Amino acid sequence: MTIMMDTGNRIAAKAAVMARPEVVAAYPITPQTTLVEAIAEYVANGEFKGEYICVESEHSAMCACIGASAAGSRTFTATSSHGLLLMHEMLHWAALARLPVVMCNINRVIGPGWNIWVDENDSISQRDTGWIQIYCSSNQEIYDTVIQAFKLAEHQKIVLPVMVNLNAFILSHTSMPAEIPDQQTVDDFLGKYTPHWKLDIDNPTTFGNIIGPEYYFKIRRAMQEAQMNAKHLIPQIAKDWKKASGYFHGDLFEYYKCDDAEHILLSMGAIGAESKIAIDELQEAGHKVGLARLRVFRPFPTEEVRKLGKQANLIVIDRNISIGSEGALFNEVKAALYGESEAKATGFIAGLGGKDVTYKDIETMCQKAIQGTAKEQVWYGMEE
């Protein structure tokens, strides 16, 4: 074990390389660039021995991962924002083809106008592609999650691509220490990749040809079942990883001081980490409020949200907006509660375009919700 003091991107690259993918295909975009540059350094110093395809676009990056995965190799890529959006068609393709590609997405604003700061609309807008989506809040969590992502994606009860999300700059470019286990620990944990299906000249099969409604219906249903399986496999795989490496990151939620809480704050990504300080302060001031930081957006942890709704009123902060509706997390939390709980839910849209969300802001949002002075959905900082 060594301690690596580095940025989220470079720690993600370290994890990706230690998972020993046979093929990496990627295209640079701020703020993901330092991640693919780090992989290029590992190619140069011999630490990464796989193929590194410097494709001409993110669309081709995902296509190349699809091709490599279909040919039976473990694959990895990384992107952000516009790169992720350019991949959209192929995100569906990878998931429908049941190819366990692992990707890091650095959450960044979508233009116009051009803005490179944090915002989660990029990945949230891909939530229906069939990918498992995990949101991290520290560099250690990034390392652990990337390693576990390969295990999850390749698990025979899942066989779906996994997207590990980290917020632009707050995580991607901020140095924090992470414990890195030795290579053998990772090798033993992941094992050798055995593809679920592959292009094989000894068993010539046509993949992805024209298909009638009956079979297609089954394919979609099987994907849904795979996502549901991930709900219990995500924590289970995390427990196995803890046994192997000593670290645990892997529940659907990270709960913080939720015992006796009458109000529970739900947030994701870096806001999720910042929320802990806010919870400490609020509890000190006598408020019965706890935190449930959502790690896994797909599959959506419906049962866990219902449990929270039975215990407390819910406060939801979204760093995204489904224009014409509401924050995506708020939306899904309310859907989960429907008919199951009388809990009040209050939603805040905050931090769009990279606007800072400090623990003080989070405290203010919680106080408004607790006092009951907030409307159902609030654009924080622009109430007037």
Which sign does the torsion angle of CA 335, 336, 340, 343 carry?
A: negative
- Residue 85 binding another protein, by CB under 8 A: no
Reported as half-sphere exposure (CB side, CA atoms, 13 A), residue 39 has a value of 31
Place of tokens 């931090």: 351
Residues near 188 by Cβ (< 8 Å), separated by ≥ 6? 244
Minimum CB distance to another protein smaller for 198 or for 288: 198
Least distance in angstroms from the C-beta of 212 to another protein: 6
Number of residues that bind another protein (CB under 8 A): 42
- Residue 89 binding another protein, by CB under 8 A: yes
Minimum CB distance to another protein smaller for 91 or for 305: 91
Helix spans in 46-190 (H): 58-70, 81-86, 88-96, 121-124, 139-154, 183-190
Question: Which H or E element spans position 78?
Answer: strand 75-80
CA distances to 24, 114, 121, 192, 238 from 249, in Å? 25, 33, 24, 22, 6
- Output DSSP code: residue 341: -
Minimum CB distance to another protein smaller for 116 or for 223: 223
Minimum CB distance to another protein smaller for 93 or for 241: 93
Confirm if 343 and 309 have CB atoms less than 8 A apart: yes
* Selected binder of another protein within 11, 19, 23, 252 (CB under 8 A): 23
Q: Closest Cα partner for 160 from 205, 85, 103? A: 103
Stretch 320-339: interaction string toward another protein, x if CB under 8 A: --------------------
Least distance in angstroms from the C-beta of 332 to another protein: 29
- Residues present in the chain in total: 384
Least distance in angstroms from the C-beta of 125 to another protein: 19
Q: How far apart are CA 154 and CA 75, in angstroms?
A: 11
Minimum CB distance to another protein smaller for 77 or for 138: 77
Least distance in angstroms from the C-beta of 72 to another protein: 6
* Selected binder of another protein within 48, 93, 247, 253 (CB under 8 A): 93
Least distance in angstroms from the C-beta of 81 to another protein: 20
> Amino acid identity of 293?
R
Residues near 343 by Cβ (< 8 Å), separated by ≥ 6? 308, 309, 310, 312, 313, 314, 337
Left (φ > 0), alpha (ψ -120 to 50) or beta: where does 301 sit?
A: beta
- Output DSSP code: residue 326: -
Q: Segment near another protein (CB under 8 A), from 111-119, 130-138, 158-166, 193-201?
A: 193-201
Confirm if 340 and 309 have CB atoms less than 8 A apart: yes
- Residue 187 binding another protein, by CB under 8 A: no
Least distance in angstroms from the C-beta of 289 to another protein: 47
Stretch 196-235: interaction string toward another protein, x if CB under 8 A: ---xxx-xxxxxxxxxx--x--------------------
Least distance in angstroms from the C-beta of 158 to another protein: 21
Least distance in angstroms from the C-beta of 244 to another protein: 26
Q: Per CB under 8 A, which of residues 37..76 are in contact with another protein?
A: 50-51, 53-57, 59-61, 63-73, 75
Least distance in angstroms from the C-beta of 57 to another protein: 7
Minimum CB distance to another protein smaller for 50 or for 272: 50
Least distance in angstroms from the C-beta of 131 to another protein: 16
Phi and psi at residue 188, in whole multiples of 5°? -65, -40
Minimum CB distance to another protein smaller for 77 or for 107: 77
Cα(first)–Cα(last) distance of the chain, in Å? 52
Minimum CB distance to another protein smaller for 73 or for 115: 73
- Output DSSP code: residue 352: G
Is residue 3 classed as helix, strand or coil in its secondary structure? strand
Give residues in contact with another protein (CB under 8 A). 22-23, 25, 50-51, 53-57, 59-61, 63-73, 75, 89-90, 93, 199-201, 203-212, 215
